[in-house]
Structure 1
Amino acid sequence: MMTNLFSVFDPAANFNLPLNWLSGNLFLLMIIPTYWVVASKMNKTLVMITQKLHSEFKTLLGPTSFPGSSIMFIALFMFILMNNFMGLFPYIFTASSHITLTLTLALPLWLTFMIYGWLNSTNHMFAHLVPQSTPSLLMPFMVLIESISNVIRPITLSVRLMANMVAGHLLMTLLGNQTAVASNFILMSLIITQILLLTLESAVAIIQSYVFAVLTTLYSSEITSH
C-alpha cells in the first residue's frame, strides 16, 4: 500500500490471486436469476430503465442505425453504473476510478467507429472535418482542430469518468480521516456531511454512467447518420 492519499485506490490481492478486478463483476450477484423468472420490483425497475434507455438511444442513433445497436450502449451504461455503485461500498475496489478500465471501454469503441467510418463512408468522414459555411481561409485550421478534437475523444471520455470517481472518493477519505481527532460536535457534523456526500456520489454515479453512454452513442450516430 502506498502511504499517501491515493493509497485508497490501490488494488489489493489476497492469497496471491489477482482478484483486483473482481469488483467489476460483483454486480452480477445483484441480478439473481429468480428476478428474471418471478416478477419483482427489481425486475420491473430494470425493465423500465432498459426500455427508457432503448427509446432514447434509438432516437440518438437515428433511423439509419443497425437494428439492436442500442443494446450495446444499454449494457455499457449498466456496467459502468454498477461499477460506480459498487465503489461506494466499504472495502470494494472501485474499478471505474482507474484509467485502465475507463480507457479500455472508450478506446476500442472509438477505434471501431473510426475504422468503420473511414472504410465505408470516407467522403462523409472528410465532410465532418470542415463544418458548413466555413471560410476558405479557415479550412486548414478547422481540419486541424476537428482532427485533434476527434483524436482526444477516447481520452476525454475515460478521464471524465475516472476524475469524477476519484474526486468524490478523495473528498470522503479526507473527511473520514478527521474523525479520529474530532470532538463530538465536529464528529456529528462530519457524519452528516459524509451522508450528504454519499448521496451526491450516488447521483454522480448515475450521471457519469449516463454521460459516458450518451456520448458514445452520439459518436456512433455521427458515423451512421448520413
Structure 2
Amino acid sequence: MNFGTPPISPSLKPFAGVIPNVIALPYGRTLPFYIKAPSWRNMLKLMARLSGTRLEPTMEAMAVVKTEMRLRVVISFVKVHHASSDWHTILYITIDHPIPPNAPTGWKYKNGDTSTLPWSYTLSQMPAFLRDGADSPLSKFYTIPSTNELPFPVLPISFPNLATYLATALETARDAMHDSSSGVRRLAKYIDQFYPNDRPTFDDGPERGGMRQRLKNFVGMGSRPQRDRNADVYELVTPFVADDFGR
C-alpha cells in the first residue's frame, strides 16, 4: 500500500508494518493510492478481514469539497515477468474530481468506458503500469463504471464495504459476459484468465442482497471465528508504514 507506482517482483515478501485504522486520501493533484496483492482473491480476502480500517478524505480535502466525495477505482493486473504466467492484482484509488467544462476531450471521461482512466487520474503523474493502455501484453486495467445498481462508493468507506463493492463489480461483469457491445465483461474475463482457480461458487446464494455474506464465504469467513486483523497481511508484498497515511 502506498501512493504512486507499486513495485512488482516474482518473489513474495512478508508484509512489514501495521495496517492503520484510517487511510486518508487527498483531493486533486495527487498520485493514486494503491493496494497490491498476489491475486484477486487475496485482495478481497485481506480487505474483507480488515474491519477496523477505512478510507476517508484528508482534512484539507474536506476544507475544499463541501459535498460528498466518491471514489474512482481502477483495477490493474500486472504480469510479474514477461516469461511468467503469474499476474498481480493492483487496486488504484482516487477521489472523484469534476471534469472542467473546457476540457478538450472531456466527453470521453463521461461515457462509462472501462478502458478509459477517470479524469482524477490525469491530474498527476500516471503510475507506470497504467501508461501502456488498458490491454497491453504485460498489464491490463479496468475502470469500474458507475451504474444505477453500482454507483461510485461514498467516503468514508470501510475495507469490508470496499471489498463488497469490488465483488459486486465482478458479478456485474459476469452478468455481461454475453454482451459484446460494452467493455463491462472485461473484468470477469481477466480474472477467469489470470486466476482460473479463484472463481467463487456464488451460484447457490441469493442475488445482490446477499453479496456481503457470499463474499465472506468466498474468503473463508462464513463460519470460522474471526482472526486477528493483521493475520493475512503477509499475502501483500509491499511494506506499509502506518504513520505515512494514518492519522
Give the TM-score, by structure 2 length: 0.24
The structure with more radius of gyration: 1
Q: Would you tell me which structure has more helix in proportion to its own residues? A: 1
Report which of the two has the higher share of strand.
Answer: 2
TM-score (ref. length: structure 1): 0.26
